[in-house]
Amino acid sequence: MELTGRQERILEIVKNEGPITGEQIAEHLSLTRATLRPDLAILTMVGFLGARPRVGYYYTGKTGTEVPMEQIKELKIKEYQSIPVVVGESDSVYDAISAMFLEDVGTLFVVDESSHLAGVLSRKDLLRASIGNQDLESMPVSIIMTRMPNITVCKKDDLLIEVASHLIERQIDAIPVVNEKENNRYEVVGRVTKTTMTKVLVHLIHSELPQGGKRS
């Protein structure tokens, strides 16, 4: 894989000073954190760098791969998005826990009565709610969910590398793929997760780039 000059410089910084945060790398290069997001996402996806929450980026020791840079940059969400798992905002926490285990997912998307995105539920949200003697069958998920507008969303024509950057930077497991409706409301049509990114990397390494259509 042929790296850009800036990506080579990032690797050099992380090798010498890692673990190091994205903000600290940006300071070394006199750039903004936003400018470096695509570079850090690419280097992490292909395995040159690793990332740990609240610690930063570290060098993995890997030195080579056959993943073409331009192919990574051009991949779009619609080629890899999977089916979202949703619950209603009036559903109980107990029902949400059941749905999460039955569907084997780490994130649930909450919709309102009009089927528009209202919130997001993570494993941590449900774990916190289940601690203690609370009545999970009578507690609605609307009490514990992360609400709009504090939710990161993406659209099917967004670049996968940009969404990967959001997953890494915001330390979240999944992002809903949406269609925008009137009054800044969203219809959930898919999801992208950290597992999605792993599948993308496997496809790229084996030169199995998609020719169109969705990946689950």
Q: How far apart are CA 29 and CA 34, in angstroms?
A: 12
Q: Is 152 helix (H, G, I), strand (E, B) or coil?
A: coil
Give me the amino acid identity at 183. N
**Residue ranges with strand state E in 60-183:** 86-88, 107-111, 117-122, 146-147, 174-180
Across the chain, mean pLDDT equals 84
Percent of the chain beyond pLDDT 90? 45
> How many CB atoms are closer than 10 A to CB 154?
21
Q: Is 17 helix (H, G, I), strand (E, B) or coil?
A: helix
Which top CATH class is 5-65? mainly alpha
Confidence of residue 203 (pLDDT cuts 50, 70, 90): low
Mean pLDDT for the stretch of residues 174-203? 88
Q: Is 9 helix (H, G, I), strand (E, B) or coil?
A: helix
Mean pLDDT for the stretch of residues 26-33? 91
Domain ranges for the chain, please list them. 5-65, 77-205
Residues 93-134: tens digit of each pLDDT:
999 999 999 999 999 999 999 999 999 999 999 988 888 767
- CATH fold of the domain at 77-205: CBS-domain (3.10.580)
Residues 48-82: tens digit of each pLDDT:
888 888 789 999 876 555 445 666 777 889 988 99
Query: Is 77-205 in the same CATH topology as 5-65?
Result: no
Residue 214 has pLDDT above 60, yes or no: no
This prediction has a pTM of 0.65
